[in-house]
Amino acid sequence: MSAARGERGPLGLVSPLRGAALVRNSPADRVPSHGTTLGASTCAIDLVPLDDRGRTAPFTPMSFLLPEPPEHFAGFGLEVLAPADGTVRHVHDGEADHRAHRGLPSVLYALTQWRRLRRGWQGLAGNHVVLEVARGGRAAFVVLCHLQQGSIAVGIGQRVAAGEVLARCGNSGNSMEPHVHVQAMDGRDPGAAAALPLTFPGGVPRAGQRLAGAGEADGR
């Protein structure tokens, strides 16, 4: 599936994950979806992969008290796919995958947010790939963030088809647990571009809903 052709409607994408994902921070609930317009993230959506039991990770009493290794989460290391046909325009790698934070550790994590903000886009996005895709007569740019360190499998200028492997899901940048942040923009530079609305087959799911994986029937 390629990107939507209309220039005024939302950019049509398929899920960048093979399996089901829990939706968080969705533009179907509020705009800006992440509470900020910083980095053209106004219409961004977060997708947290689920295991066979519908969990992002097993929850134990220690999850309330201590940060957890990213390997404990269903999403860590899963393949991240191109959500549309396009051309790779930018890649950034080398950001470490840090421990995940749930329960009380998430409060402590929030207190360190200034460090990532000080680093700008790279501090927030972590490892990421930018794809240029067709949107009518103009180009649109789709960014996939928080990728696993060392996993990016494509290079600048490479043409990719929807469903082709780009990287693996990680916990780099501003991420409290392994997930994929997806956003669309009208330019390559998040600091100068405007956000574009995006959609998936069946529409834009709300936070807390399930987004079917690429090639699956919509199971919401």
Is the pLDDT confidence value at 1 over 60? no
**Which tokens is 61 given?**
């009493």
pLDDT at res. 111:
66
Domain range list for the chain: 11-202
Is the pLDDT confidence value at 105 over 70? no
pLDDT at res. 5:
45
Mean pLDDT of 193-205: 96
Average pLDDT, the chain: 90
More confident call, 1 vs 78: 78
Cβ-proximal residues to 19 (8 Å cutoff; 6+ apart), any chain: 49, 50, 78, 213, 216
pLDDT at res. 219:
43
Q: 163-178 burial, b for 16+ CB within 10 Å, e for fewer?
A: beebbbbbbbbbbbbb
- Contact, 119 vs 94, CB < 8 A? no
pLDDT at res. 217:
54
Give the architecture (CATH level 2) of 11-202.
Distorted Sandwich (2.70)
Q: What percent of the chain has pLDDT over 90?
A: 73
Mean pLDDT of 149-154: 98
pLDDT at res. 220:
40
